[in-house]
C-alpha cells in the first residue's frame, strides 16, 4: 500500500500532457500595448475604457478622505467624525504598525530607531505644524525611507492613526490643566 502513491506519481510523470493544457493563460492570444488589431475597424488593439468605469487603482469618493488631498493640497483636518472608538483604533494600529520606529510616545525613541543606520525616524511630536493630510499621505505612500503602509492599514485605520498622533502631540504639548506649554518647555 505504501508504494501506491509513489507509483501513481511516477505514472503521471510519464504521461504526455500537452503544454497548452498546463500553460493556457501564458500562451493565450492577447495584444500588447500599441499593437494593431484586425478585429476593430480603427486597427487599434488598445481601447478606451467604457464610459462610467473607474480604474481599480483610483479611489472612489471624497478625495480628501481617500487620498488626503483635495485639488493637490493636503487636507488640514481629519475627514472623520472623531470619537473614542476612532482614537482607540488609532492607538491600537499605531502601536502595531508605527511604534516600532516612531516609539510608543511618538518621540522617535525605539529599539528599532536606535539601530537605524541611514536615517532616524522623526519625532512625530515635533511635526504638529504639519496638516493632517501630511501624516495620511506619509502612511499611504511612504515618506523618505519609510515604506507605504496602505497594504496594512485601510483608509479608516490610517485616519485613526492620524487622530491618535494628534492626540499624542496634544498630550505632549500641554500642561496638566490643558493649557499649552510655553515654547521653551517643549
> Domain of 75: which CATH number?
1.10.760.10
Binned at pLDDT 50, 70 and 90, residue 91 comes out as: very high
Domain of 68? 63-185
Residue 14 domain flag: no
Other Cβ atoms within 10 Å of 168 Cβ, number? 22
Q: Which residues pair with 146 in a beta bridge?
A: 143
pLDDT at residue 1 above 80? Answer: no
Answer for the pair 164, 90: CB distance below 8 angstroms, yes or no. Answer: yes
Residue 12 domain flag: no
Residue 1 domain flag: no
What's the number of domains the chain is made of?
A: 1
pLDDT at residue 181 above 60? Answer: no
Measured CA to CA, the distance from residue 57 to residue 63 in angstroms comes to 13
Per residue in 42-75, pLDDT (tens digit) is 998 888 888 888 776 666 678 889 999 999 999 9
pLDDT, greater one: 27 or 35: 35
Residue 88 domain flag: yes
Residue 82 domain flag: yes
Per residue in 106-128, pLDDT (tens digit) is 998 888 888 887 778 888 999 99
Residue 46 domain flag: no
Residue 47 domain flag: no
- Residue-level pLDDT at 178: 56
The DSSP result for 58-98, as a single string, is S--S-HHHHHSEETTEE-SS-SS---HHHHHHHHHHIIIII
The percent of residues above 70 in pLDDT, for the chain, comes to 80
Residue 121 domain flag: yes
Between the alpha carbon of residue 1 and those of residues 8, 16, 110, 112, the distances in Å are: 11, 26, 58, 54
Amino acid at each position: 500500500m505504501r508504494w501506491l502513491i509513489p507509483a501513481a506519481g511516477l505514472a503521471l510523470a510519464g504521461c504526455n500532457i500537452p503544454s497548452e493544457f498546463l500553460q493556457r493563460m501564458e500562451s493565450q492570444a492577447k495584444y500588447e500595448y500599441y499593437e494593431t488589431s484586425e478585429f476593430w475597424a480603427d486597427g487599434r488593439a488598445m481601447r478606451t475604457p467604457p464610459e462610467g468605469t473607474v480604474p481599480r487603482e483610483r479611489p472612489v469618493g471624497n478625495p480628501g478622505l481617500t487620498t488626503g488631498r483635495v485639488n493637490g493640497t493636503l487636507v488640514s483636518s481629519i475627514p472623520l467624525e472623531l470619537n473614542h472608538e476612532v482614537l482607540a483604533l488609532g492607538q491600537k494600529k499605531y502601536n502595531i504598525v508605527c511604534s516600532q520606529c516612531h516609539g510608543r510616545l511618538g518621540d522617535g525613541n525605539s529599539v528599532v530607531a536606535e539601530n537605524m543606520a541611514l536615517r532616524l525616524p522623526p519625532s512625530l511630536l515635533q511635526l504638529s505644524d504639519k496638516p493632517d493630510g501630511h501624516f495620511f499621505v506619509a502612511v499611504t505612500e511612504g515618506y523618505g525611507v519609510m515604506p507605504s503602509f496602505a497594504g496594512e492599514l485601510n483608509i479608516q485605520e490610517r485616519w485613526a492613526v492620524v487622530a491618535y498622533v494628534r492626540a499624542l502631540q496634544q498630550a505632549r504639548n500641554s500642561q496638566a490643566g490643558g493649557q499649552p506649554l510655553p515654547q521653551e518647555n517643549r
